[in-house]
Amino acid sequence: MRVFSGLQPSGNVHIGNYLGAIKQWVGLQRGNDALYCIVDVHAITIPQDPKELRRATLETAKTYLAAGVDPQKSTIFIQSHVPAHAELGWILSTLTPLGELERMTQFKEKRSKRDAVYAGLLNYPTLMAADILLYQTELVPVGDDQLQHIELTRSLAERFNNRFGKTFIIPQARVNKTTARIMSLAHPGDKMSKSDPNDKTRINLLDPEDVIRAKIKSAVTDSGNEIVYGPTAKPAISNLINIFAGVMGKPVEWITRESKELTYSEFKNNLADAVVQELIPFQQRFNDLKEKDVLSVLQAGAQKAAELASSTLKDVKKKIGFVL
């Protein structure tokens, strides 16, 4: 199957991004034709410091590689290296009713947090639809906050196909049940987020071991003292169980069975051991990567992606009446 997904280049890549998205990507490389993109064109929908954007873009590429995305199996590239994304994004924006964009939860959320909002932010979902549709994608592995965008992508593809003839494959989202929405360590009612000003709410992939342990130790828990799963009654412990299950690659039931006799503090210790065991080797691989090798992976990736994208874009242009 053709698989496509992406992450915005920003610092603070956290264990929610890792378990909700990147870890799924690694698993999907086998037997599929996967493209994993660093979406810098999306990132500039909110103001970015140019130096920081460049740094974060390369850091995100290193994160993919260190997490196990293998350039021999998958295509890794930077969105702005393939101009077809912006071109198809523009075309799709001319077919998207304004009301549908204004209703997007992520847009409303981001808008409410900022004084100035630019047109690009409203058009974010049409660019995301272009990312996906350009490659005739069948499967889009993401966290559950992206489901609404994928729904819009599907309806845009259907609308285009109905009006101009069959052009796009209708893609499907793929979320991992236990890790689709990892919650904040401090406020289990909120999603763990890159942009939360309080760093203690998340475990960053690059946090040192003592910081990881301290953050897990100070994570809020629920009343009572039993390790039982129940996202409504016990949201904080259930979130920690989800993280544990995701890191270990085991079902929630296995974690709760193994932890039945433990106190909250013993359970947290075991969780910290598991997270450290996953992240410290990741960090070693991350630190060993050289910028010049990363750049050459990205260059080869862009070339491959551009070839695939150009055939869809050409078909689209012909169908809408552009002279080729």
Name the catalytic one among 191, 200, 250, 317: 191
Beta-carbon contacts of 246 under 8 Å, excluding residues fewer than 6 positions away, are: 15, 19, 23, 176, 178, 179, 182
With binding defined as CB under 6 A, does residue 146 bind ligand ATP? Answer: yes
Q: Which one-letter amino acid corresponds to residue 13?
A: V
With binding defined as CB under 6 A, does residue 267 bind ligand LTN? Answer: no
Q: Report what 212 binds from ligand ATP, ligand LTN, none; CB cut-off 5-8 Å by kind.
A: none
17 annotated as a binding-site residue: yes
Beta-carbon contacts of 311 under 8 Å, excluding residues fewer than 6 positions away, are: none
With binding defined as CB under 6 A, does residue 256 bind ligand LTN? Answer: no
Query: Which residue has the closest beta carbon to ligand ATP?
Result: 20
Choose one: 140-148, 187-195, 213-221, 293-301; the region binding ligand LTN (CB under 6 A). 140-148
Q: DSSP string spanning 254-295?
A: HHHHHHTT--HHHHHHHHHHHHHHHHHHHHHHHHH--HHHHH
Does the annotation mark 191 as catalytic? yes
With binding defined as CB under 6 A, does residue 7 bind ligand ATP? Answer: yes
The candidate with the shortest Cα–Cα distance to 91, out of 133, 119, 121, is 133
Q: Report what 74 binds from ligand LTN, ligand ATP, none; CB cut-off 5-8 Å by kind.
A: none
99 annotated as a binding-site residue: no
Q: How far is the CB of 246 from ligand ATP (least distance, A)?
A: 9
Q: Report what 128 binds from ligand LTN, ligand ATP, none; CB cut-off 5-8 Å by kind.
A: ligand LTN
Q: Report what 184 binds from ligand LTN, ligand ATP, none; CB cut-off 5-8 Å by kind.
A: none
With binding defined as CB under 6 A, does residue 16 bind ligand ATP? Answer: yes
Name the catalytic one among 62, 177, 194, 200: 194
Choose one: 27-35, 176-184, 230-238, 258-266; the region binding ligand ATP (CB under 6 A). 176-184
Q: Which of 75, 96, 193, 204 binds ligand ATP (CB under 6 A)?
A: 193
Q: Report what 23 binds from ligand ATP, ligand LTN, none; CB cut-off 5-8 Å by kind.
A: none
Residue 251 near residue 229, CB atoms below 8 Å: no
β-strand partners of 37:
6, 77
Residue 6 near residue 35, CB atoms below 8 Å: no
The candidate with the shortest Cα–Cα distance to 8, out of 102, 80, 104, 87, is 80
37-71 burial code (b ≥16 CB/10 A, e <16): bbbbbbbbbbebeeeeeeebbbbbbbbbbbbebeb
Q: Pick out residues in 28-57 that bind ligand LTN (CB under 6 A).
A: 39, 42
Q: Which one-letter amino acid corresponds to residue 48?
A: Q
Q: How far is the CB of 6 from ligand LTN (least distance, A)?
A: 4
Choose one: 1-9, 56-64, 190-198, 299-307; the region binding ligand LTN (CB under 6 A). 1-9
288 annotated as a binding-site residue: no
Residue 92 near residue 126, CB atoms below 8 Å: yes
239-267 burial code (b ≥16 CB/10 A, e <16): bbbbbbbbbbeeebeebbeebeeeebeeb
- As annotated, the binding site for L-tryptophan includes 131
Could you list the residues that contact ligand LTN (CB under 6 A)?
4-6, 8, 39, 42, 128, 131-132, 140, 142, 146, 149
